[in-house]
Amino acid sequence: MQICFVCEGNTCRSPFAEKLFKSMLKKNNIRGISVTSCGINVSREQRTSPQILILLEKYGIKFNGKKAQKLTKSKLEQTDLFITMTKYQKQFINSSKVYSLGELAGGDDVLDPYQKDMSCYEYMAQQVSEYLNVLIKKLKGVNR
């Protein structure tokens, strides 16, 4: 199964969710899922936010960042499940294989920390981590 996390610019929320979810899948010995991320409104030459790299390191994840990737038609065709950070992004993509992370985890939209202070990034990281833990528990229940 291929899962793609989606946010606006693919510099904050979706790369954080991608890397954290990969780590959680590995720690929980859940196999057969590949994880990527992209954005619906990507500007050229944007890279992963430095704040995200700091937060991932706090979670024990080494990552040097990446160039932001745009959601493309081929990505839509090749991916099994898209998980957006907001309901608006879900509506924008408008596909039967798209869910918002909050929807899957029983919560709200993931707040966008872009160009805000570090406390906003930390709040987003905590929110994403909690939601991904819910998904991992659901996956572990399915894999039993």
Task: Say whether 47 is catalytic.
Answer: no
Q: pLDDT, tens digit, for every residue of 72-82?
A: 999 999 999 99
Measured CA to CA, the distance from residue 40 to residue 69 in angstroms comes to 9
Half-sphere exposure of 122 (CA within 13 A, CB side): 4
The residues spanned by each domain of the chain are 2-137
pLDDT in tens, 51-74: 999 999 999 999 999 999 999 999
- Annotated catalytic, 13? yes
Residue 7 is a catalytic residue: yes
- The active-site residue out of 4, 7, 12, 38 is 7
Identify the residue with better confidence: 140 or 127. 127
pLDDT tens for 86-109 read 999 999 999 999 999 999 999 999
Q: The domain 2-137: what is its CATH number?
A: 3.40.50.2300
